[in-house]
Structure 1
Amino acid sequence: MKRRQIGLAVLSAAALALSACSAGSLGSSDEDSGGGKVTLSFLTDNQPETVKIAEGLAKDFTAKNPDITINVETRPQGTEGDNVVKTRLSTGDMTDIFMYNSGSLMQALAPQKNLTAVDEFADKLDDNFKKSVGSDGKIYGVPFGNYMAGAILYNKEVYDKNGLKVPTTWDEFMSNNAKLKAAGVDPVIQTYGETWTSQLFILGDYYNVEASTPGWADQYTKNQAKYATTPAAKAGFDHLQEVHDQGYVNKDFASAKLTDGLNKLAKGEGAQYPILSAMLSQLIADNPGTENKIGLFAIPGTDAAKNGLTVWAPNGLYIPSSTTGDKLAAAKKFLGFVASPEGCESLGKASQPTGPYAVSGCKLPDSVPQAVKDMQTYIDKPGASGLALEFLSPVKGPALEQICVEVGSGIRKSDAAAKLYDEDVKKQAQQLGLEGW
């Protein structure tokens, strides 16, 4: 599964596909026009929201830089689009600027060979994002979009009614669950009718793994660390088993789907839902008036002093090494615009922010949902957020969601699940040809 590996294909599948080219790309040309004017080509995927943002950025940039025209082109999503990007890079036929994944998938593009370093923008970027587009000490991209979190959405009214505080340790979380169950509210919502949603207690817990075992991702990639033999990594499976065994999940967990879970949370039938923060958009659309009713907190670990949020970095904008001369100067000017408060404002006009910006100096509008504001507090606090494992390692076994469903359903114990997942990972790592496997 391509980005985001946790099931972001689900998001892409929900979007309506566009035609092969957006309106802004019709009749475009890669040739410079006369009179010192420059025309740039800009490739994005064809998800409608992506195209809307890209065309908004291009329009607002050209309004301030009338000598530079940017024509937006589109490619398919998923594996087909991935192949388009890699083929065009390998043949030197890439557009002047393109949007692509950040993190380990970006590393697979061989950035030192195929991309242009843009270190001049490093001081404008959040540290987590710099890690996601960095290689060999150089920075290769700027953010296209907002951060997303793997966290727990919670109903603030239910919390207030039961006198609960946001937990910063797992023990506090479980204590809250006991009180919620006694009050007749489902403490933890699970929706295994859509299996990808089962993974959050593991993937959203990676901040805690790194906090406990610094550098674990690198050891994991080299086959020097395992889920089954690293207590901090296995804890996600333990937590999944624990909430089931204590009876803290909704009775229909096996058949409930994402929409059911979001509606339960909005209505207060369930108190907490471990899920991707990007699902806020659907929750609010389906339940108007809930913008300030739903909050967000990080999946807690063992140490309150090290409480922090696991985040998924935005996609990146990149300049291929085939872009040279006046086009290169213009392309860097565009990336500089995107990585600025003006660029964030343009992005926010095109699409309501569903997470914090990865650009220094960019502020969220007051109109964003409360859960997004909650995310921002983690980003603002030094060291209180960290990248999801997929941005730090290319290794992710394809069977994780099915294994999580088994653990969360009481079918398989956490110890056995961690060992099974280590075997699943081994197969995938060997397919990637990684050393040490």
Structure 2
Amino acid sequence: MFMVSRRRIAALAAVAVGAWVVSACSPGDLGSSDKDSQATTLTFLVDNSDPTVKTAQGLVNAFTAKNPTIKITVETRPQGSDGDNVVKTRLATGDMSDIFWYNSGSLFQALKPEQNLATITDLSSAGDIDAAFKTTVSANGQLYGVPAGGATGGGILYNKAIYSQLSLQVPKTWADFMANNAKIKAAGIAPVIQSYQDSWTSQLFVLADFHNVSAAQPGWAGRYTANQAKYATTPAAMRGFQHLQEVHDADYLNKDFASLKFEQGLKALADGKGAHYPMLTFAVGTIAQQSPDKIKDIGFFAQPGDDASKYGLTVWEPAGIYVAKKTNGAKLDAAKKFLAFVASKEGCDAQAKAFTPSGPFLVKGCTLPADVPGAIKDMQPYFDGGNNSPALEFLSPIKGPSLEQITVEVGSGIRKADSAAELYDQDVKKQAQQLGLPGW
């Protein structure tokens, strides 16, 4: 969730069936064969999820309204591994669309960008793109993508009504967070909601702590990928596992943490049965849907570390929009013009109009709509102040498959933090060797 043997014919057939054309003509241009003959036509490949399709269509409509001599044909592909294989196969065979929407981070690196993508380092709006995002779509000093959609934060969703009732302040250190938990427990409310029936939710105290790891150990992700750093031997990296153990040992969890499911955890938070829920901000949409009358009570803050001066947010970066290397001449110029539009305030506005954003846009000058939930707005200061870092999975291809089982054990009091970190290092080693990474 945080992270072809391809059936090429079936996958590519799905792309063909899902394709449609978005007209670039303004009403006055309809039927103008002369202008049509002068138009530059681009193809744009996106996954077939509703948010992606609507956002892509909104971007195309807004861009082509301003640039009637550029036409964009939008194609869809499957999601998941089948979609990954469509992208990789089309790049390898030279059959990729002119521009395409795809993951940032380690999955972007797997596309061999220098070989398959056109650099956009000279893009007119490149300077307005968030610096942390740029690291996830760059290779050897060259920029290849612009952000598609908003960012997602990893941290703590909290009940603002409870905080107001108990006169609590948003904590900037782990010690302050635990002090808040003590006051919440004394008031007869579960301080921390966990939902281990959906085991993936158990990982947040570890994964959302990565900004604190990066702040304490700059460059740790690279050393980790090269097998030069470990969770068990890096105190800052060990802290996420220790956080899990500490909240359990202090009896700060909801009594039904072992059987509660994700949606139930969100409802418990909205209903004030618990004060905190370690989670990704995409979950705000679910709260808005199932508890619309309580959404104003929900806020968000980054997972605190040990140093308030380095307090910041771990970010799950948005996908990127890229240009295939085969795109050249007038098509390349048009493609870059489109990407420059995406990475502009007008582009952000077009995206927000097309689909409610999941978090702040990573482009200077872009703002969230006034009607987005408060928990989403709570993320903006971390970007305005530059106090954010990409999650580890955007900096390294290594994520052991057993992490969620290990974190359930720690959060349930079955395994201690130091043992869990050692076990996870072993889990990671197996995966790194399967990936054929050097140094393993």
Query: Is the structural similarity TM-score above 0.5?
Result: yes
Q: Which amino acid counterpart does residue 332 of structure 1 have in structure 2?
A: K
- After TM superposition, list the pairs within 5 Å mapping 1:225-244 onto structure 2: 225-244=229-248
Q: Using the alignment, how far apart are the partners of 1:70 and 1:195 within structure 2?
A: 42
Counterpart residue number, 2:67? 65
In structure 2, what is the Cα distance between the partners aligned to 1:276 and 1:285?
A: 16
Q: Report the counterpart of residue 410 of structure 2 in structure 1.
A: 407
Q: Give the structure 1 partner of residue 155 of structure 2.
A: 151
Alignment of structure 1 residues 84-123 onto 2, 5 Å = 84-121=86-123, 122-123=126-127
Partner Cα separation in structure 2 for residue 26 and residue 182 of structure 1: 58
Equivalent position of 2:189 in the other structure: 185
Shift in Å, 1:380: 0.6
**Could you tell me whether the CA contact under 8 Å between 2:161 and 2:297 is conserved in 1?**
yes
Q: State the one-letter code of the partner of 2:270.
A: A
Is the 1:195–1:401 Cα contact (8 Å) retained in structure 2? Answer: yes
Q: What is the Cα deviation at residue 20 of structure 1?
A: 6.1
Deviation at 1:26, TM superposition (A): 9.2
- Which amino acid is the alignment partner of residue 199 of structure 2? T
Q: Shift of the alpha carbon at 1:19?
A: 8.4
TM score, norm. by length of structure 2: 0.92
- Equivalent in the alignment of 2:81: 79
Amino acid at match of 2:329: G
Residue of structure 2 aligned with 1:390, choices 388, 393, 397: 393
Q: Normalization by structure 1: what TM-score?
A: 0.93
**Taking structure 1 as reference, are residues 21 and 340 closer, same or farther at Cα in structure 2, changes over 3 Å only?**
farther
Does residue 171 (structure 1) correspond to residue 175 (structure 2)? The answer is: yes
Amino acid at match of 2:408: V
- The residue correspondences of 1:10-25 to structure 2 (distance < 5 A) are 21-22=17-18, 24-25=20-21
SS of 2:324's equivalent in the other structure is coil
> What CA distance in whole angstroms lies between the structure 2 residues aligned with 1:72 and 1:98?
9
2:282 and 2:426 map into 1 onto residues whose CA distance is 30
Q: 1:287 aligns with which of 288, 291, 299?
A: 291
Would you say the 8 A contact 1:125–1:142 is kept in 2? yes
Q: Alpha-carbon deviation of 1:238?
A: 0.5
**1:295-354 alpha-carbon deviations (Å, 9 max, x no partner):** 111111111111111001110000010111221111111111111111101100111122
1:428 equivalenced with 2:424 (yes/no)? no
**In the alignment, what sits opposite 1:346?**
350
Question: Quick check: 1:24–1:55 contact (8 Å CA) kept in 2?
Answer: no
SS of 2:75's equivalent in the other structure is: strand
Helix, strand or coil at the partner of 2:61: helix
Deviation, structure 1 residue 412: 1.0
Cα deviation, 1:17-40, whole Å, max 9, x if unaligned, reads x98644634999xxxx95321221
**In 1, are the aligned partners of 2:19 and 2:76 still within 8 Å (CA)?**
no
The corresponding residue for 1:15 is: none
Give the AA of the match of 2:37.
Answer: G
Instruction: Kindly provide the CA deviation profile for residues 133-187 of structure 1, in whole angstroms up to 9, marking residues without a partner as x.
Output: 1110110000111010111010001011011111111111111111111101110
Whether the 8 Å CA contact 1:155–1:265 is kept in 2: the answer is: yes
CA RMSD of aligned residues (A): 1.8
- After superposition, the C-alpha distances for 1:185-217 in whole angstroms (9 at most, x for unaligned) are 110010111111111000100000011111110
Within 2, Cα distance between the matches of 1:222 and 1:68?
Answer: 45
Identity of aligned residues (%): 59
Tell me, what secondary structure is at the counterpart of 1:35?
helix
Q: Secondary structure at the match of 1:272?
A: strand
Residue 51 of structure 1 aligns to a residue in which SS?
helix
Question: Which of 242, 254, 268 is the aligned partner of 1:250?
Answer: 254
What SS does the corresponding residue of 1:290 show, helix, strand or coil? Answer: helix
One-letter amino acid matched to 1:436: G
- Distance, in Å, in 2 between the alignment partners of 1:77 and 1:244 is 37
CA distance in 1, matches of 2:45, 2:68: 20
Distance 1:288 1:371 in 2: 13
Q: Is the 8 A contact 2:15 2:77 kept in 1?
A: no
Classify the secondary structure of the residue corresponding to 2:296.
Answer: coil
The alignment partner of 1:260 has SS state of helix
Q: Show the 5 A alignment for 1:33-44.
A: 35-44=37-46
Question: Does structure 1 conserve the Cα–Cα contact (< 8 Å) formed by 2:15 and 2:75?
Answer: no
Give the AA of the match of 2:378: D
Aligned position for 2:136: 132
| Partner residue, 1:11 | none
Task: Supply the distance in 2 between the matched residues of 1:59 and 1:24 (Cα, whole angstroms).
Answer: 13
- Partners of 2:226 and 2:136 lie apart in 1 by 19
Call closer, same or farther: CA 1:258–1:19 in 2, change over 3 Å: farther
- Contact persistence 1:22–1:51 (CA under 8 A): no
> Structure 2: how far apart are the matches of 1:44 and 1:193?
33
Q: Give the counterpart letter for 2:391 in structure 1.
A: A
Q: Secondary structure at the match of 2:379?
A: helix
Gaps of 5+ in 2: 4-13, 25-34
> Distance between the aligned counterparts of 1:69 and 1:242, measured in 2?
57
**Quick check: 1:52 aligned with 2:48?**
no
CA contact (8 A) 1:186 1:248 kept: yes
Tell me the distance in 2 between the aligned counterparts of 1:187 and 1:19: 47
**Displacement after TM superposition at 1:292 (Å):** 2.6
Q: Could you tell me how far apart the structure 1 residues matched to 2:78 and 2:19 are?
A: 16
CA 23–105 in structure 1, closer or farther in 2 if over 3 Å, else same: closer
User: Match for residue 416 of structure 1?
Assistant: 419
**Unpaired runs of 5+ in structure 1?**
6-17
Higher mean Cα deviation, 317-326 or 18-27? 18-27
Q: 1:374 deviation in Å?
A: 1.2
Quick one: distance in 1 between partners of 2:70 and 2:295? 39
